[in-house]
Amino acid sequence: MDRLTNTIRPYAWGSTTAIPELLGVEPTGEPQAEMWMGAHPGAPSRSERGPLNEVIAADPERELGPESVAKFGPRLPFLFKILAAGAPLSLQVHPNLAQAKEGYEDEERRGVPIDAPHRNYKDANHKPELICALTPFDGLCGFRAPADAARLLEGLDVDSLKPYVDLLHAHPEDAALREILTAVLSADHDEMAATVTEAAAAAERLGGAYAPFAVLAHHFPGDPGVIAAMLLNHVQLQPGEALYLGAGVPHAYIQGMGVEIMANSDNVLRCGLTPKHVDVPELLRVVRFEPTDPGVLRPEADADGEEVYDTPIDEFRISRTVLAEGSAPRDLTARTPQVLLCTAGTVRAGECELAPGQSVFVPAGERTELSGSGTVFRATVVA
């Protein structure tokens, strides 16, 4: 079992206080957006045996187990994070596995540099992900029913939005959603900026259901993504609730701290709320244009009291264990690799005592007993 030292990423949207408060350290004054736990080559966790990606590469079957290696290859197939949003993230979508492979191979064939700002695909993998709230958490996930989006836009009483309202009343619904997103992202820049400015003023005045979009417009003045965001479901998670984000589902995080897990990929196609590259044709190829219920997940306890968040993919399985004072130790031994993260209290995983924000990597098959009083999130693989 390896105690992990993890990298904190200072992205501009990060909270300056949330991660320091969890770790019990003084804030630096700089944004601290994500703490990465895993073996991603961009910021691998470090252990006494060395960087985790190098530890795994030296003996994949010993560290990951033969089942995980057979299914996902000689690498940890997930990336585990603490995410702390002090400001909104970009509106984005992730490709499915076939789209990622096709897009990556195409850009490789065309010689697009891997670090080029207009490159869409950094790897050939998909990026399903789950966010579980540690604090009240605001986000956007999946398309609203077009009629609901039409009512929201209409309530702003902005003349230049009326053609979009008309589009949303068209049928079938998938065609209506495709047409309006295309129109919003392809509109004249100056005209759209003026529309967003007027819409933002109305949203600020109206408040209520419009308040999240006033926040977006404050951070991204004139950005067409503000109007695109109004097509999506606004979701407010309470601690312990989660969202699963599959391929093709547009989403954005607005504010809050959570535990996030995803397949080990960097593939992101942006829809707005960003100064970065937006590839509209490729985006339209990947987005699933269908109204969806955001599907807030609540964990289901198994016979041992482990609370599991049900997801439809195998690259990761995430669960939560809450240990009360004096409760019996829990056996978490598994045939696949694990990362254990303490988020409250003080717990002991094997010989490692963990305080909030501390984590360990457990090789496949290593006996793992959890004791103490606190909350532990467990990331592992379905194999």
Name 141's bridge partners.
251
First to last CA, the chain: 20
CA distance 371 to 61: 28
Q: Are 255 and 87 in contact (CB under 8 A)?
A: yes
The DSSP symbol for 265 reads: -
CA distance 336 to 5: 21
- Alpha-carbon distances of 354 from 21, 23, 348, 377, rounded to whole Å: 16, 11, 6, 12
**Cα within 13 Å of Cα(135), Cβ side:** 16
For residue 96, give every residue at least 6 positions away whose Cβ sits within 8 Å of its Cβ, in sequence order, or none: 126, 247, 248, 286
Asked about 378 being catalytic, the answer comes back as no
Name the residue type at position 61. Answer: E
3 state SS for 255-311: EEEEEEEEECCCCCEEEECCCCCCCHHHHHHHCCCCECCCCCECCEECCCCCEEECC
- Alpha-carbon distances of 310 from 130, 252, 318, rounded to whole Å: 10, 21, 8
Tokens, residue 199: 């819409």
Question: Rounded to 5 degrees, what angle do the CA atoms 58, 60, 65 make?
Answer: 150
User: 172 preceded by cis ω (within 30°)?
Assistant: yes
Q: Which of 270, 317, 320, 378 is catalytic?
A: 270
- Comparing CA positions, the residue from 137, 81, 128 lying closest to residue 341 is 81
| Residues identified as active-site | 270
